[in-house]
Amino acid sequence: MGKEEIEAAVSVLKSGTLTNKSGAGPRVLEFEREFARLVGVKHAVAVNTGTAALHCALLAAGVKSADDVLIPSFTFAGTGTPVLLCGARPIFADIRSETYCISPEDIENAISRRTKVIMPVHLYGLSCDMDPIVEIARQRGITVVEDAAQAHGAEYKQRKVGSLGEMACFSFYSGSNMTTGEGGMITTNDDDLVQTLKMIRTHGEERPYWVSRIGNNYHMTEMVAAIGVAQLRRLGEFLERRRQNAKILTDQVGVSGKLALPSEPDGVKHSWCMYTVRLRGANAGKRNKIVERIRDKNIEASIYYETPLHLLPLYREASGLRKGSLPETERAARQVFSLPLHPGLTSEDMSYVADTVRRIVG
Ligand SMILES: Cc1ncc(COP(=O)(O)O)c(C=O)c1O
């Protein structure tokens, strides 16, 4: 948070307009307009979390209890929760080992007549391979909702993520590439969907106090939106610093070959929300010990995600999957860990991270 965000928040408090009945006050409208421009889409709809954004998108896609939603298991809980909230069945597809993103080939295996939505997650800030996913969905009349919670500013074949499916959802949680503390946004080019999304964000109201479909109170407040506008203006600078920090890690951390470094396939521009490495051939115990030793040196190494969704009891029941069902997902969950690279870290900080990790990993 800088001076701009603080002034923006104070100006909202002084204005006396903290929100409005449809969650579309002047600051929210400004944030939506500017966010849509950034992504290169016609519309953006602001809500109060990324999870709420995904829930709105699934409801707008018409997801109901008889439907399946196809998602990766190697992701944050926020990807799965909205599926369960719709009463739908989460169906999990495996990931590609080099990118950790959902595998289009495995989507083909997991798809069925019940599949209503495919929800690819641009994990760690790297776009999924969207062309084959969009093609599979198009052939079968399935809606694609991008989970872009971690991928503000990422690109796929010179298009911004958030413009590649029918709808896309972003989070402004504090660990994201830009933040408002909590917050979310849905982007779309569809003029009908945007009306539906706005209704869902306000209890499903068609007009004031006339509720005609299920919705919720998912309003973004004016103060949050004002902070969002200020952050959006700095996003380019944040992304550039993340990229520079990632480069320092890539140049310095992997010399021994024991770590597989993150990939940036041709035509894809990473947004470096996380810098995730794989300890080749390791089991979870060995990886966890390395992470502990790095953390002992005052470096905030983290594991995203130690337990894939399909192995959580809640999802095991819903999906019917067992250990061993998604081998690449389970292998990644045992072997990956992430290193800090946020824009507050200097080149010296990054060299300290790289040196320390190199010494510990060997
Ligand atoms: C992949 C993914 N999906 C969904 C979400 C949910 O977003 P929020 O925490 O804003 O509800 C997150 C949050 O970071 C996420 O990383």
Residues 61-78 have a mean pLDDT of 97
CA distances from 96 to 88, 320, 346 (A): 25, 22, 32
Residue 19 near ligand 1, beta carbon < 6 Å = no
Q: What is the pLDDT of residues 90-146, one digit of tens each?
A: 999 999 999 999 999 999 999 999 999 999 999 999 999 999 999 999 999 999 999
Tell me: pLDDT of 255 over 80.
no
Residues 55-72 have a mean pLDDT of 97
pLDDT at 17: 95
Residue 75 near ligand 1, beta carbon < 6 Å = yes
0.75 exceeded by pTM: yes
The 3 state secondary structure assigned to the chain is CCHHHHHHHHHHHHHCCCCCCCCCCHHHHHHHHHHHHHHCCCEEEEECCHHHHHHHHHHHCCCCCCCEEEEECCCCHHHHHHHHHCCCEEEEECECCCCCCECHHHHHHHCCCCEEEECCECHHHCCCCHHHHHHHHHHHCCEEEEECCCCCCCEECCEECCCCCCEEEEECECCCCCCCECCEEEEECCHHHHHHHHHHHECCEEECCEECCCCCECCCCHHHHHHHHHHHHHHHHHHHHHHHHHHHHHHHCCCCCCEECCCCCCCEECCCCCEEEEECCCCHHHHHHHHHHHHHCCCCCECCCCCCHHHCHHHHHHHCCCCCCCHHHHHHHHHEEEECCCCCCCHHHHHHHHHHHHHHHC
Q: How far is the CA of 202 from the centre of ligand 1 (A)?
A: 21
Q: Say which range, 57-71, 138-152, 199-213, 251-265, has the weakest mean pLDDT.
A: 251-265
Residues 270-274 have a mean pLDDT of 98
Residue 78 near ligand 1, beta carbon < 6 Å = yes
pLDDT at 95: 98
Tell me: pLDDT of 82 over 80.
yes
pLDDT at 148: 98
Q: Residue 274 contacts by C-beta under 8 Å, 6 or more apart in sequence?
A: 124, 125, 150, 304, 338, 341
Residue 57 near ligand 1, beta carbon < 6 Å = no
Tell me: pLDDT of 215 over 90.
yes
CA distances from 285 to 135, 282, 290, 357 (A): 40, 8, 9, 17
Residue 79 near ligand 1, beta carbon < 6 Å = yes
Tell me: pLDDT of 45 over 80.
yes
Instruction: Work out the mean pLDDT of the chain and round it to a whole number.
Output: 97
Tell me: pLDDT of 232 over 90.
yes
pLDDT at 326: 97
Question: Binning pLDDT at 50, 70 and 90, where does residue 319 land?
Answer: confident
CA-closest residue to ligand 1 atom 7: 50
Residue 171 near ligand 1, beta carbon < 6 Å = yes
Q: How far is the CA of 200 from the centre of ligand 1 (A)?
A: 19
Tell me: pLDDT of 317 over 90.
no
Q: Residue 152 contacts by C-beta under 8 Å, 6 or more apart in sequence?
A: 38, 170, 176, 177, 178, 235, 239, 271, 273
Residue 149 near ligand 1, beta carbon < 6 Å = yes
CA-closest residue to ligand 1 atom 5: 78
pLDDT at 76: 98
Q: How far is the CA of 76 from the centre of ligand 1 (A)?
A: 6
High-pLDDT (> 70) share of the chain, %: 100
pLDDT at 334: 98
CB 85 within 8 A of CB 214: no
pLDDT at 117: 98
